[in-house]
Amino acid sequence: MIKAERGKKAKSRARVSPAVRYHKEQLHLSPEAASAIKRYGWPGNVRELRNAIERAVVLASGDAITPDYLPDTLFRNHVEPFPTVSPAASLEEIEKEHIIQVLAETPILEDAAARLGIDTSTLWRKRKRYKIE
C-alpha cells in the first residue's frame, strides 16, 4: 500500500507544470513564442520540448514567455540545401542522397517514409539496398 501511494505521488509531481512548480501561474506564451514552438521539428521529442518550456519559465521575468526566453535552436534553419549532384549521377544516386537527407531531418523512420511518400517497409528495403545505416 505504501509503495503504491509513493508511485501515485511521484506521478502527480511529474504532471505539475513548470509554471506551477516555479510559482508563475500567470505565465503565458506570447504569439511569437507559440509560433516558434509549433514550427520547430523537436528532434528530441517530448523531453526536449519539456526542457525548453521549463527553461523559458525559469528565465521569464514578466507574465509572458517571449522568443527571448526560448532556446536559440528553435530559430535556426535546420534544412540544408539539397546537395548538388553531378549531371552524370544516376537516378539511384540521387534517390539515395535524398533518402539520406530526409532520414537526417526526421526523428523516426515512419516520419521519413511519410515525407518521402512511400511505405515504411519500402523505406526499409531502400535503406538495405543502398546500405544506409
Which is nearest to 21 in space by CA: 58, 50, 46, 51? Answer: 58
Tens of pLDDT, residue by residue over 19-45, are: 677 667 788 888 998 888 888 877 767
pLDDT at 13 exceeding the cut of 60: no
Q: What ranges do the domains of the chain cover?
A: 2-75, 91-129
pTM: 0.46
How many whole angstroms separate alpha carbon 127 and alpha carbon 99?
Answer: 8
Q: What percent of the chain has pLDDT over 90?
A: 14
Where in the chain does DSSP place strands (E)? Answer: 28-29, 64-65
> How far, in Å, CA of 64 to CA of 3, rounded?
39
Q: Which CATH number fits domain 2-75: 1.20.1250.20, 1.10.20.140, 3.40.50.720, 1.10.8.60?
A: 1.10.8.60
